[in-house]
Amino acid sequence: MPLFKRRVMGKPGEWFYCLEHKKVEEGPDCPGKDRFGPYATRKEAEHAMETARERNLQWENDPKWHDAPAGGRDED
């Protein structure tokens, strides 16, 4: 058993969305690998999954992030 427990870092007034518990937290309560944030407001954290979906769609449709065609070279 470890002598010292690793504490989750965060500040009061910072809001996070926990991916494991699917809830908004102030603080945070859960480890970084399980959360989105920090957000400035609770309302922003409540919409974290929608924001992530929108950003994923933007990324998927951004031509700068697509691989070169199967021929090997980009056609300009």
Q: Residue ranges per domain, the chain?
A: 15-62
Count CB atoms within 10 A of the CB of residue 56: 10
pLDDT at 15 over 80: yes
* pLDDT of 19: 95
Centre a 10 Å sphere on the Cβ of residue 19 and count the other Cβ atoms it contains. 15
d(CA 52, CA 56): 6
pLDDT of residue 2: 59
| 27, 30, 59, 61, 63 from 67: Cα distances, Å | 39, 35, 13, 12, 9
Q: Could you tell me how far CA 52 lies from the centroid of its own chain?
A: 7
- The pLDDT tens digits for 48-74 are 999 999 999 998 888 887 766 665 555
pLDDT in tens, 32-48: 899 999 999 999 999 99
Residue 65's pLDDT is: 75
Burial class of residue 14 (count of CB atoms within 10 Å of its CB; 0-12, 13-18, 19+): middle
Per the model's pLDDT, the better-predicted residue between 25 and 5 turns out to be: 25
